Amino acid sequence: MTRKTKKTTSAETVRDNAAYAGARPVLSVLVPFLRDDPLALLEALDQEADIIGGAVEVVLLDDGSADGVLAARVDAGVARAKLPVRMVRLPENEGRARGRNRLAAHARADVFLFLDADMHPDNRRFLQAWLDVIALDDPAVAFGGFSLKHASRESAFAVHRAMAEKAECVPWFERARTPEKYVYTSNLLVRRDAFEAEAFDRDFAGWGWEDVEWGMRVARRFSVRHVDIPATHVGLDTVESLAAKYESSVGNFARVVSRHPEVVRGYPSYRAAQWLKKAPALPAWRPLLKQAALARLLPTAARAFSLRLYRAALYAEAV
């Protein structure tokens, strides 16, 4: 069973499972979640517990879900896990950047692996593969890659699937050409000294860009490697959900533009936003792009293109 070990700053509650105290981890897997259930990911990772011993710990952060049923289910799953697991729970949401900084503060290993709760390893040697990378090369930063191997094929998620296949499911050798661009905290290895030199910017709020901006900073000081240890983004979004995320990300995009203009100018999203900024009466017809993306009678490719244009039209406010 889990045991409550302490209450610390910001009213966080910390619980460790039975395997946690005696472990001496080489790798800390850091998983934030907000109302998502992280147990499928934890159970997938736990399948490797017997072969990696105590070399890997998992630290979960419930960033203000305020869901008693979910909390009880996760606590039970943490208690069952063979891997050493720490559960950190916050009463209120503090955001993606601050939450990941908090997770790093709880990590005991000198290497972190950031994983989102809606990810799923693509093979059963996922943790072992990352341990091999650490043992052979000890990179400061390494990204393992995305896939859609285990993702839903329901029609409700077809647009997101099409967009992810085009922009995110990129092989390692292509990612390596612009290493700072493909730095997502959904499958990201970071050495402690690199993270202490460049933590996530606490001033990012809402959705998106905090990991990409971090990648731009860290790439100036450390080498960013790209490897082939993919995980599936299981949690595909509907068009409605994606549009809402884009709408909440405008301020973050503006922050990246102001801090790294020389890098962002090369991004297609920036160039499209600049082009649309010149369009007359953009605020008046921008909603039509969203309506086209929502139109289920249109082909998926057309809806995905409309949603990308809608995102660029939103970002036109920031360029």
pLDDT in tens, 186-227: 899 999 999 999 888 888 877 888 888 888 889 889 999 999
Judgement on whether residues 142 and 63 belong to the same structural domain of the protein: yes
Judgement on whether residues 213 and 258 belong to the same structural domain of the protein: no
Judgement on whether residues 25 and 41 belong to the same structural domain of the protein: yes
Taking only the tens place, the pLDDT of each residue in 4-46 is 444 344 589 999 999 999 999 999 999 999 988 999 999 999 9
List the single range of 25-29, 106-110, 185-189, 291-295 with lowest mean pLDDT: 185-189
pLDDT band at 1 (very low <50, low <70, confident <90, very high): very low
> Residue 168's closest CA among 187, 141, 196, 194?
187
Query: In the prediction, which pLDDT does 238 show?
Result: 96
Judgement on whether residues 27 and 115 belong to the same structural domain of the protein: yes
Which of 214, 236, 258 represents a domain boundary (last residue)? 236
Query: In the prediction, which pLDDT does 2 show?
Result: 41
Across residues 125-143, what is the average pLDDT? 96
Judgement on whether residues 16 and 41 belong to the same structural domain of the protein: yes
Query: Mean pLDDT across the chain, nearest whole number?
Result: 91
For β-strands 56-63 and 85-90, DSSP reports them as: parallel
Judgement on whether residues 223 and 304 belong to the same structural domain of the protein: no
Its domain, for residue 25, covers 3-236
Judgement on whether residues 205 and 226 belong to the same structural domain of the protein: yes
Give the span between the Cα atoms of 37 and 159, in whole angstroms.
Answer: 23
List the single range of 32-41, 240-249, 255-264 with lowest mean pLDDT: 255-264
Radius of gyration of the chain (CA): 20
Query: In the prediction, which pLDDT does 105 show?
Result: 95
Q: In the chain, how many domains are there?
A: 2
Taking only the tens place, the pLDDT of each residue in 53-77 is 899 999 999 998 888 999 999 999 9
Which of 218, 236, 254 represents a domain boundary (last residue)? 236
Query: In the prediction, which pLDDT does 5 show?
Result: 41
Judgement on whether residues 71 and 202 belong to the same structural domain of the protein: yes
Residue 236 has pLDDT above 50, yes or no: yes
Judgement on whether residues 194 and 109 belong to the same structural domain of the protein: yes
Give the span between the Cα atoms of 157 and 109, in whole angstroms.
Answer: 37
Query: Which CATH number fits the domain that encloses residue 20?
Result: 3.90.550.10
Q: Which residues contact 212 (CB under 8 A, 6 or more apart)?
A: 181, 183, 184, 256
Provide the whole-model pTM.
Answer: 0.88
Judgement on whether residues 229 and 108 belong to the same structural domain of the protein: yes
Which of 221, 236, 251 represents a domain boundary (last residue)? 236
Across residues 296-307, what is the average pLDDT? 96
Across residues 229-243, what is the average pLDDT? 94
Give the span between the Cα atoms of 236 and 244, in whole angstroms.
Answer: 14
Give the span between the Cα atoms of 29 and 167, in whole angstroms.
Answer: 25
Query: In the prediction, which pLDDT does 71 show?
Result: 92
Judgement on whether residues 265 and 145 belong to the same structural domain of the protein: no
Q: What is the DSSP string of the chain?
A: --EEEEE-GGG-EEEE-TTTTT---SEEEEEEESSS--HHHHHHHHTTHHHHTTSEEEEEEEES---HHHHHHHHHHHHH-SS-EEEEEESS---HHHHHHHHHHH--SSEEEEE-TTEEESSTTHHHHHHHHHHHT--SEEE--EE-TT----GGGHHHHHHHHHHT---HHHHTTSTTTS--TTEEEEEHHHHHHS---TT--SSS-HHHHHHHHHHTTS-EEE-S--EEE-----HHHHHHHHHHTHHHHHHHHHH-HHHHTTSHHHHHHHHHHTSTTHHHHHHHHHHHHH-TTS-HHHHHHHHHHHHHHHHGGG-
Cα 29 to the center of its chain, rounded Å: 12
Residue 94 has pLDDT above 70, yes or no: yes
Across residues 231-240, what is the average pLDDT? 93
Residue 93 has pLDDT above 80, yes or no: yes
Give the span between the Cα atoms of 275 and 278, in whole angstroms.
Answer: 6
Judgement on whether residues 157 and 250 belong to the same structural domain of the protein: no
